[in-house]
Chain A
Amino acid sequence: MANVFARIGDWVNERTPGLAPMYRKHMTEYYAPKNFNLWYYFGSLAMLVLVNQIVTGIFLTMNYDPSASGAFDSVQYIMRDVEWGWLIRYMHTTGASLFFVVVFLHMFRGIMYGSFKKPRELVWLLGMLIFLALMAEAFMGYVLPWGNMSFWGAKVIVSLFGTIPKIGPALQEWIMGDFLPADATLNRFFALHVIALPIVLLLLVVLHLAALHEVGSNNPDGVEIKKGPKGNRWDALKPADGIPFHPYYTVKDLVGVGFFLLIAAFIIFFAPTFGGWFLEHDNSIAANNLVTPAQIKPVWYFTAFYAIVRMVPSAFGTAVWGVLGMFGSIALLFALPWIDVGPVKSIRYRGTGYKVALTIFVIAFFCLMALGMDLTDEYFPRIFGAGIDITLWDNVFGRIMTVAYFGFFVFLWLYTHLGWEKTKPVPDRVTTHD
């Protein structure tokens, strides 16, 4: 038997001589730093979720009807009548939220350990493009069930483009193919969601990894193993602090996969809507173009960015400022490699100012998230008494947090460009070498 496999292997290799070297380059002879910690699970987990979304998505497509008259019912049909349809749908919806959990942690890791800095700027930029594509993918997927939240979510997000002076209204009609979200809108979002954006995402992930493997992974110490001493157990010329990705990190990542699947399964079986966070209550009502749900808010992973739209008031007769603020909050992340130019990568050896700023940034992000989810409307009266003017409190609170979010980038720029940062000495090698 082994003989048969070996012969098939040889037969393939003779015809595609590039395959085996490529496998070695990216797996058994890709030397990754030996000090990866928990934060390094999320890249492989993101790939796992991507595969889950594609597989469950294909099966959903088999019973979903992308028309304004049929979409809502077809989703109910999947939930009630299709054998195991509920599981496939919950895997897809839970996967979407967990995708963002994983990607947010993955990005935070990149910020914390300075993984976006030279020479990994391209890895970061490709990652940010993935993030954009992912947001578009998630938004369009959210519209497909054609519930009332889908409808109004689509309306509000598309209207973001309508605030652009002059061309806005025409652009908005162009995106929807009608004067309101309608059949045409749903059809095109379906096409983008199931084919166009997945292709883009897959391509970007391949480029992301190709760019990463060219320069090699960063690590929690932020030291370049390629610049350290050479020679390890497997290769005299490769970094002493590197270990082969396969089998060492494939096995480590499998542990992460196990834990992750445990958590995911728990949510899918016991709390698929996650209290209205992963699947919103108002979306179990069919789309109605005459009635906006009493409380309209996007799914949790968009709320922080969305809160910024709300916090910036309109001026000079246009509402475009809030929208610019929201896009700006993401654009600044793209520019991070050129905003934070501090020479020390990892938070372990950076100045106190950086640690404080990063903490405030994280707090601001969570507060904006809570605001975007309307949690503040619920909790402010409980904390400060029922008689308070919620709009005023929301605005004061939200504007402070918005300023803190943007302030992080301003501070980082000043802190690193003007040389205010006092760093600790960075070790020559990763701290866990033997």
Chain B
Amino acid sequence: MPKVTYIEFEGKEHSINLPLGFSIMEGAIQNSIKGIDADCGGSCACATCHVYVDENWVKKLPEIQESERDMLDFVTELKNNSRLSCQITMTDQLDGIIVRLPKKQG
């Protein structure tokens, strides 16, 4: 099973195995990792699942969809590597991906 590492804003790390097809948001919620709210349950409608994707992984992600870009406009502290974790689905190519959580969601 592919691995994901979440790094909380304060630096605490969590590595989990996430089955293929699950989103990075779901991995955080199911493992009670703090810092991802996911108020809309993955509908790409709340922007409270914002993560910063580690620079080495950004290029490996599929391209951002229009709907995600629209929501990203609403996150606090948008950066070039900002993504909504509910829109990143686990694939074999993403095995080992690292995401950092923002200070605050929404």
Physical interaction between A and B: no
